[in-house]
Amino acid sequence: MQHVNFQCEPGEAMRSCSRGVRAPLVLVPLLVLLLSSIGCGDYGGPSTDTSIAANSVGGGVPQGLSVAEQVTSFETTVYPLLRANCASCHDQQGPGAPRIAHTDSSTAWSAVVDNQKVNFSDPASSRLVRRLGADFHFCWSDCATDAAEMLTQILAWQTAIEASGGTTGGVDVTDLSSNTRTLADGTEEVGSDRFDTGIIARWDFKEQTGNTAFDTSGVAPAIDLTLEGPTLMTSYGIDIQTGRAIATADASRKLYDRIAAQSGGSQAYTVEAWIANTNTTQEGPARIISYSRNGGSRNFMLGQVMYQYVVRNRAFLQEISNNGTPDFETYDVDQDAQATLQHVVFTYDQLAGRRIYVDGQWTEDVDEIRAGRLWNWDPGQRLVMGDEVTGGRQWLGQIRFVAIYDRLLTPVQIRTNYEAGIGKRVTLAFDVSQWTGGTSTIEFEVTQLDDYSYLFCAPTFVSDTGSAVRIQNMRISLNGIIPVSGQGFSRLNALVTSNRQQLSRQCSIVGGIADPNTDTFQLVFEQLGIFQDPVPPATPPTPGAEDFGSPVPLVGVRDFARVNASMAAVTGVDPMTPSIEATYQELTTQLPAGPDIRSFVSANQVGVDKLGVEYCDVLVGGSSPASQTLRNQFFVAAANPTTGFGWDQAPAVAFADPNDVDLITDPLLDGIVGAGLRGDVGGFPARDQVEALLDQLIVDLQATCGGAGDPPCDGDYTKNIVKGLCTAVVSSGAVHIH
């Protein structure tokens, strides 16, 4: 078999060299593949190369001349060199790309410019030069000479452009920015597709002025809301800091007729809302949306109790009151209710009963009350938002959207509506034509999130020129100030190669709203086309001068819900025991609200102690056999009828033997404190030190009975001492510090 000869003689051009290749016909297909994948290849890498070396300031886009003028200067400089030496691979019939040696000079010019093969800011770093001088890519003589020849022609091209009035260098400017815009300059979007089938009442709150929020469902009669205190928001919604939005009983009757009536009522419904709770301390439940007559009679309700959402629904069942109780709540440990914008949906049907969804997800709370017909709804009740019909259950926050359906929405449909979003969304176009030529804009999808910030999404470059433009490091200015935080496009590096091109799929939050009606926006760039306004790098701090603030503690505290759950877990006591549940609800605001141990105060410890007393009272129990079950399960050895603890003896007898003391202290130390007592403290075992404290506590408590004005030293007091030991342990840092 003959061998393939790829050796070119010195001075032989690539195209003539290729004719000298000798190969059997069977190798021709392989040779073509080899040339296209290795020999010719992509002349300089992908057009989306974002490296600074490949695409430094100014790129390869000569500005200031028409395309025809730029092609003319190209035809007399670089183009002849490309045609003479690169056409075998890079014309319209060759295997290489891009077509920088196309027989049509305009096409070749576009291939060079659009793919940034020439860098007029630094001609020596142009890809056409480096491909020869550094990559030794199919040189036609020796590579150093060929690279120098290519550089000469690029410099000649640059000179020709400058002589014609064009600009090719990286031009330093100040205030490299777009024009200023306001929300009023934008085009409002209709929004993504929602699932609206079955809506019988809907409030978009788009009125912006007045004291009425109109039902826009189109289903008569309209349940228009009178605003008695709430104010309409420019971003669509009502801000409730006092008062309520309430409908008449006649208008509200539509809900009864479409949902609950024995003749024609669906017996199923969905309430969908976009809301933002002002805080997570509201109780009552605070009324977000209610269809009711007063504080003791309602058809349905969505409310808030701190971190929980609460739903009530009246049904034709013996176990359901006319107030819709017992409440159906989200699990407190999950903290579903937050002081932020949330999509909250509750549904009711004859299969699952009540269900709650937050931000498109089912909370997984299951209604323990069976579903029933809604025939006993009161048709004379009124729809109200933000408070009770008769007052006294104020809710604070914003309601951005509400819809009521006479059908059950499925989880997929609820997710669809969540993803559709909410609020006023506009397309805002920023003009950058003065920097890029032609008519060029950068479009954003802009939403006012709340009273504090805007959301800028999906910037898109739109132009009628089609010229390649490099855009780097874009920031959003609000009222003439560039916020430090929330600049999600500050590291943007995009090469625009089409008339309409999305620069990023990301969004960025920009805070600092003054007045949505007058706030102005502007885009600021570090590079836009051939122009640059680089931001000077920050001066690094002197070594050792950094101030990182107070060190963050390595330990934290459990919040109120976790303290309650921890006590239940270590004692085995049901947290829903009436006395414990009542105390927990009463003390919630006194228990730790967050994990930062630096915010832990004495009032928090008092709250923990009070809750611990209730758990230990249930655990130790009294004298009746029914109250001793938990005690015997926890203090196993102490329950032995022969060698056990003297629960009904006087303290002096019950605690006389150290072994009897261990029957009480060992389960407390092992079952509650447990692994928290590993290791030594101050050179002595931690467990021994804690046990000594409990022993001393027994001595101290025994001294507080039998005296004048003191309780008698009897069996009840012995159990009280055990309750005190239990409280000391279950309320200690070993349980609520982690």
Residues 138 and 287 in one domain: no
Q: Provide the pLDDT confidence category of residue 192 given band limits of 50, 70 and 90.
A: low
Q: Provide the pLDDT confidence category of residue 590 given band limits of 50, 70 and 90.
A: confident
Could you read off the pLDDT of 415-426 as tens digits, one per residue?
Answer: 999 888 887 788
Alpha carbon separation from 265 to 249, 278, 404 (Å, rounded): 18, 35, 14
Residues 348 and 476 in one domain: no
Whether residue 539 lies inside any domain: the answer is no
- 3-state SS of 503-541 is CCCCEEEEECCCCCCCCCEEEEEEEECCEECCCCCCCCC
Q: How many C-beta atoms lie closer than 10 Å to residue 258's C-beta?
A: 20
Q: How many C-beta atoms lie closer than 10 Å to residue 512's C-beta?
A: 14
| Residue-number span of the structural domain to which 576 is assigned | 560-736
Using the predicted structure, report yes or no on whether residue 402 has a pLDDT greater than 90: yes
Q: How many C-beta atoms lie closer than 10 Å to residue 29's C-beta?
A: 9
What is the CA 356 to chain-centroid distance, rounded?
Answer: 20
Whether residue 279 lies inside any domain: the answer is yes
Q: How many C-beta atoms lie closer than 10 Å to residue 562's C-beta?
A: 18
Could you read off the pLDDT of 477-500 as tens digits, one per residue?
Answer: 988 888 877 788 888 888 777 788
| Sheet of 531-532, strand order | 171-172, 531-532, 521-528, 469-478, 493-496
pLDDT value at position 275? Answer: 94
Mean pLDDT lowest for which of 285-294, 354-363, 530-539? 530-539
385 compared with 450, residue with greater pLDDT:
385
pLDDT value at position 14? Answer: 39
User: Where residue 234 sits, what CATH number does that domain have?
Assistant: 2.60.120.200
Query: In terms of C-beta density within 10 A (0-12 exposed, 13-18 middle, 19 or more buried), how is residue 207 classed?
Result: middle
Could you read off the pLDDT of 168-191 as tens digits, one per residue?
Answer: 445 666 788 999 999 889 888 765
Residues 411 and 480 in one domain: no
pLDDT value at position 20? Answer: 37
Q: Of 481, 514, 529, which closes a domain?
A: 529
Question: Which residue spans within 166-320 are E strands per DSSP?
Answer: 171-172, 187-188, 199-203, 212-213, 225-228, 231-232, 238-240, 244-246, 269-277, 286-294, 297-305, 308-313
Whether residue 550 lies inside any domain: the answer is no
Using the predicted structure, report yes or no on whether residue 250 has a pLDDT greater than 50: yes
433 compared with 45, residue with greater pLDDT:
433
Whether residue 362 lies inside any domain: the answer is yes
Say if strands 328-329 and 469-478 run parallel, antiparallel, or are unpaired.
unpaired
Residues 79 and 134 in one domain: yes
Residues 588 and 503 in one domain: no
pLDDT value at position 38? Answer: 38
Residues 144 and 96 in one domain: yes
Whether residue 79 lies inside any domain: the answer is yes
pLDDT value at position 552? Answer: 78
Residue type, 639: A
Q: In this structure, are residues 104 and 69 in contact, taking their beta carbons and an 8 Å threshold?
A: no
Q: In this structure, are residues 223 and 291 in contact, taking their beta carbons and an 8 Å threshold?
A: no
DSSP three-state, residue 556: strand
Residues 404 and 524 in one domain: no
Residues 412 and 498 in one domain: no
User: Where residue 462 sits, what CATH number does that domain have?
Assistant: 2.60.40
Whether residue 545 lies inside any domain: the answer is no
Distance CA 145, CA 132 (A): 9
Residue-wise DSSP of 667-721: HHIIIIIGGGG-SEETTEEHHHHHHHHHHHHHHHHHTTSSSTTSPPSSHHHHHHH
Mean pLDDT value across residues 45-50: 36
Q: Provide the pLDDT confidence category of residue 125 given band limits of 50, 70 and 90.
A: confident
Residues 261 and 391 in one domain: yes
pLDDT value at position 607? Answer: 87
Mean pLDDT lowest for which of 464-473, 519-528, 586-595? 586-595
Q: In this structure, are residues 4 and 21 in contact, taking their beta carbons and an 8 Å threshold?
A: yes
Using the predicted structure, report yes or no on whether residue 542 has a pLDDT greater than 70: no
pTM, two decimal places: 0.47
Residues 82 and 97 in one domain: yes
* Residue corresponding to tokens 């898109």: 460
Distance CA 399, CA 402 (A): 7
Q: In this structure, are residues 604 and 610 in contact, taking their beta carbons and an 8 Å threshold?
A: no
Q: Copy the structure tokens of residue 354.
A: 């009540």
Mean pLDDT value across residues 378-383: 96
Q: Could you give the number of structural domains in the chain?
A: 4
Mean pLDDT value across residues 341-346: 93
Q: Copy the structure tokens of residue 42.
A: 């992509």
Using the predicted structure, report yes or no on whether residue 306 has a pLDDT greater than 60: yes
pLDDT value at position 163? Answer: 66
Q: Of 372, 399, 420, which closes a domain?
A: 420
pLDDT value at position 698? Answer: 92
Query: In terms of C-beta density within 10 A (0-12 exposed, 13-18 middle, 19 or more buried), how is residue 712 classed?
Result: exposed
Mean pLDDT value across residues 215-227: 96
Residues 455 and 510 in one domain: yes
Using the predicted structure, report yes or no on whether residue 689 has a pLDDT greater than 70: yes
Q: Of 364, 393, 420, which closes a domain?
A: 420
- Angle, nearest 10°, between helix axes 78-90 and 143-163? 130
Could you read off the pLDDT of 197-210 as tens digits, one per residue?
Answer: 999 999 999 998 89
Whether residue 7 lies inside any domain: the answer is no
Residue type, 632: N
- Nearest CA among 349, 354, 350 for reference residue 365: 354
Whether residue 487 lies inside any domain: the answer is yes
Q: Copy the structure tokens of residue 424.
A: 């006023």
pLDDT value at position 466? Answer: 67
Q: Copy the structure tokens of residue 47.
A: 């057009």
Query: In terms of C-beta density within 10 A (0-12 exposed, 13-18 middle, 19 or more buried), how is residue 238 classed?
Result: buried
Residues 448 and 388 in one domain: no
Q: Provide the pLDDT confidence category of residue 54 given band limits of 50, 70 and 90.
A: very low
DSSP three-state, residue 179: coil
Could you read off the pLDDT of 544-588 as tens digits, one per residue?
Answer: 666 666 777 888 888 878 888 889 888 888 888 888 888 888 877
Question: Which residues are CB-contacts of 43 (< 8 A; sequence separation ≥ 6)?
Answer: 86, 90, 96, 97, 98, 100, 115, 117, 127, 128, 131, 137
pLDDT value at position 16? Answer: 37
